Amino acid sequence: MDDERTAEWDGITLRSTLLPEGVALRDRLADAARDGRWHTVFEILDEAPSLANSTRLGGSSGYTPLHQAAWYGTTPEIARRLLGHGAFRTLRTRDGARPADIAADRGHDHLTGLLRPEIRHPLPPQVRAALRRNLHRLIHHRTGDGNRPDLATREELRLPDVEILTELARPVCWFPVPGMYGGFRIELTGGELTVDSWVRVAEGSERTDRVTAEGVHLQEGGLL
């Protein structure tokens, strides 16, 4: 990652991916957000800011701390603190709900405006969907060796959603690949993505590929 301020996409979903201490930290964060213990939430995020958009390991809802805050109808001050830690307004649950949607559904009108995404880099829905699909194809391609299911599939990683890039002042995110000493730097430029990747298990470990709505333009030429 080229800048510590770059947003990070947390893709870990399996307990088996992490060491016990990592599992325990995430469990503690998920429990605290579920129970509305915001002092504990911020204590953990101060220690591990990359977990601002994490979800419960093995969970079914896909709720992050910001989704929980929207569900509770917490104070605007707490919501602002979560946003200050890098929580994404556009991040969706498994059911497709953003934090603002949850707040609105539960009648928490004091939060809906604050949580409503400000889209700085708009994309037509069909372009956004095509970029997401092709980005995921590239990640599966880059984390596989052709002899067995790719790493992203084996680890059941939650792959990056292009929508979060549209809200960022600097539309770049880093997606680390657990245990592989590398990952993907994804940047939205106009209507396409530039993807720098370094994955130890993949042939040609450092490279830049381009993702458009039409497909994946590989560094060596050709379309994936």
pLDDT digits (tens, 9 = 90+) for 37-85: 999 999 999 999 999 999 999 999 999 999 999 999 999 999 999 999 9
Looking at residue 203, what is its pLDDT? 55
User: What fold, for 14-115?
Assistant: 1.25.40
Looking at residue 1, what is its pLDDT? 39
At 58 the three-state DSSP class reads: coil
What are the residue ranges of CATH 1.25.40.20 in the chain? 14-115
Separation CA 218–CA 138 (nearest Å): 9
Q: 189 forms bridges with which residues in the sheet?
A: 192
102-123 confidence digits (pLDDT tens): 999 999 999 999 999 999 999 9
- Strand stretches in the chain, DSSP E: 7-8, 172-177, 182-189, 192-198, 206-211, 216-217
Q: What is the mean pLDDT of residues 152-171?
A: 96
Q: How far is CA 107 from CA 74, 103, 112, in A?
A: 12, 6, 9
